[in-house]
Amino acid sequence: MKKLIAEGFQPIDTLIKPKTNNPWSLKDKLLLGLTPQEYTKQLFRNPFNWILAIIYAVGIPILVGRFIFGLGWATHSSYDYPWGLFLGWGLFVMVPLSASGFMMGTTVELFGRKDFKPIERLGLLNGLLGYFFAVVFLEVDLGQPWRLVYPMFVSLGPAAVLFLVAWHVATYLSVQMAELVPATSELMGWVKPKKFIKSIVLGLTIAGIILSTLHQGALGALFTYAPGKVHPLWFSGAFQWFHFFCSSIFGGLSMLIVVSTLSKWFLGWRCDANFSKNLDQITLGIAKGCSLALITYLVIKLVALAHDNEWGYLLTGWGQWYIFEITAGVILPLVFFTMAIRTNRAGLARFAAFVSVFGIAFNRLNTALITFNWQLYQEIPHWREIVIAITVYATYIVVYRAVLYRLPILYTWQGDSK
């Protein structure tokens, strides 16, 4: 696309073709105003697509195989280790990283910080796609995925934490889809839907905060069902849910910085001045939020250690692993974020965000997979599990990219002007 832009191509950002009175058709909008041949050519030129092609060539047969031969063939899920990478990565890592939806909605709509508006839609999209693909990962993991709606309509077990997660994720997905209706309405030229959503946006935002607080916490609470199985340093009977909720705050915000950075680097042609010029300032603003959440998280982790008197564990091998996680995943990003804010360096904040995302992923994988069953034996995912996880994640990136190409998220819709 960069080549085309350099040649003077202007991707669609209005409803009407410039210099004419004819509206763009849906096909035009999907192809960004290119001809099918031009579009396909730029597809082939993009080196990222070659990597994707390899991933899909290997991954699709394995993914299909999971459904034909069952979980026993595709995973190392066992009687002792029922959960593997699909849930460990796809659910437990992706969900906190998708918390940007409610964070940005709250910042802009609830607290009225309009200076974050340029990145608001990206935050919402990050949230929506992250949750949507978390559900995709869940469907890949469930023994009987066609029964996904059972906890809602067939047989309800309301006392279970997972019941809350199921309902909330479903409701929250609807909320997030509604929050992205304005962007879609602009592209499609609808008027009423956008107006309607705008009128209930505060309600949607508050609903989003409620749902997010609870299900981010609930994912942590799931591990309170197995108090002896997660290593004590990663487990807190009293505070597990709060650890997960607090870390989701900086998780979502950091992921937003990461995604905005990747958009700046690889989709720069799509970003308009409103986005690009304000991005550094916005990044530093988000960094402030991240650092506040990080210091809070660090302290409540230490409080949990004190509460259960677990200092002795720090001297063990697992203790060293824990110290590494806290240092690399919490303290390091905290220091970098703070330095970046003080010295006004957005680049450093971006680096901190990457480290912070790693920290979240590391913490969730530790809790769900690595320190789980710490008293039994270690289990590693099957290579097929890794391949499938990469394939589904690649699809997440593909869909992400497709939406960012088209919907007015990185750029402002010019409407009927021009």
Partner 1 sequence: MKKLNRRNFIKGSLAGGIAAAAAAGKAKKALAAGGDFGGYPDSMGVLVDMTKCVGCRTCEAACNKEQGLPEPDKPFDDYSVFDEHRQGGLPRRTTEKAYTVVNRYNIDGREHPLFRKFQCNHCNEPACLTSCFVNAYTKTPEGAVIYNPKVCVGCRTCMIACPFYVPAYSYSSAINPVVKKCIMCYDTRLKFGRPPACVESCPQGVMTFGKRKDLIALAHEKIGENPGKYVDHLYGEHEVGGTSWMYLSDVPFEKIGFDMHLGKEPIISYVKDFLAIVPMVLCIWPALFTGFHLLSTRKQANKEEPPKA
Residues in region 121-180 near partner 1 by CB under 8 A: 142-145, 147-148, 150-151, 154-164, 166-168, 171, 175
Task: Kindly tell me which residue out of 217, 252, 329, 359 binds partner 1, with binding defined by CB under 8 A.
Answer: 217
Q: Does 383 bind partner 1 (CB under 8 A)?
A: no
Structure token pair of residue 55: 């991933």
In the complex, the smallest distance separating the C-beta of residue 103 from partner 1, rounded to whole angstroms, is: 13
Q: How far is the CB of 173 from partner 1 (least distance, A)?
A: 13
Residue 17, strand partner residues: none
Measured from the CB atom, the residue of 58 and 376 that comes closer to partner 1 is 376
Name the segment binding partner 1 (CB under 8 A); options: 93-101, 110-118, 256-264, 312-320: 110-118
Nearer to partner 1, 216 or 363 (CB): 216
* Distance separating alpha carbons of residues 390 and 401, to the nearest angstrom: 16
Q: Write the binding mask 304 to 343 for partner 1: x where contact by CB under 8 A, - elsewhere.
A: ----------------------------------------
Closest approach of partner 1 to the CB of residue 79, in Å: 5
**According to CB under 8 A, which residues from 38 to 57 bind partner 1?**
none
CA distance 302 to 16: 58
175-214 residues near partner 1, rule: CB under 8 A: 175, 199-207, 209-211, 213-214
SS3 for the chain is CHHHHHCCCCCCCCCECCCCCCECCHHHHHCCCCCHHHHHHHHHHCHHHHHHHHHHHHHHHHHHHHHHHCHHHHCCCCCCCCCCHHHHHHCCCHHHHCCHHHHHHHHHHHCCCHHHHHHHHHHHHHHHHHHHHHHHHHHHHCCCHHHCCHHHHHCCCCCCHHHHHHHHHHHHHHHHHHHCHHHHHHHHCCCHHHHHHHHCHHHHHHHHHHHHHHHHHHHHHHHHHCCCCECCCCCCCCCHHHHHHHHHHHHHHHHHHHHHHHHHHHCCCCCCHHHHHHHHHHHHHHHHHHHHHHHHHHHHHHHHHHHCCCHHHHHCHHHHHHHHHHHHHHHHHHHHHHHHHHHCCHHHHHHHHHHHHHHHHHHHHHHHHHCECCCCCCCCCCHHHHHHHHHHHHHHHHHHHHHHHHCCCCCCCCCCCC
Query: How many residues form the binding site for partner 1 (CB under 8 A)?
Result: 74
Stretch that binds partner 1, among 35-43, 216-224, 255-263, 318-326 (CB under 8 A): 216-224
Q: HSE on the CB side for 179, CA within 13 Å? A: 34
Residue nearer to partner 1 on the CB measure, 39 or 83: 83
- Closer residue to partner 1 in complex, CB, 206/298: 206
Q: Are 167 and 152 in contact (CB under 8 A)?
A: yes
Q: Say how many CA atoms lie within 13 Å of 345 toward its Cβ.
A: 12
Distance of alpha carbon 398 from alpha carbon 51, whole angstroms: 12
Q: How far is the CB of 283 from partner 1 (least distance, A)?
A: 22
Site string for partner 1, 241-260 (x = CB under 8 A): x-------------------
Question: Between 73 and 102, how does the x/- string for binding to partner 1 read (CB under 8 A)?
Answer: --x-xxxx-xx-------------------
Query: Which CB sits closer to partner 1, 235 or 297?
Result: 235
Nearer to partner 1, 48 or 150 (CB): 150
Q: Which is nearer to partner 1, 207 or 404 (CB)?
A: 207
Question: By CB under 8 A, what part of segment 348-377 binds partner 1?
Answer: 376-377
Nearest approach in angstroms of CB 5 to partner 1 is: 37
In the complex, minimum distance from the CB of residue 375 to partner 1, in angstroms, rounded to a whole number: 9
Nearer residue to partner 1 within complex by CB, 177 or 399: 177
Q: How far apart are CB 391 and partner 1 at their closest, in Å? A: 18
Q: Nearest distance from residue 240's CB to partner 1, in Å? A: 8
Closest CB to partner 1 among 92 and 336?
92
Considering only 112, 191, 265, 306, the residue that binds partner 1 (CB under 8 A) is 112
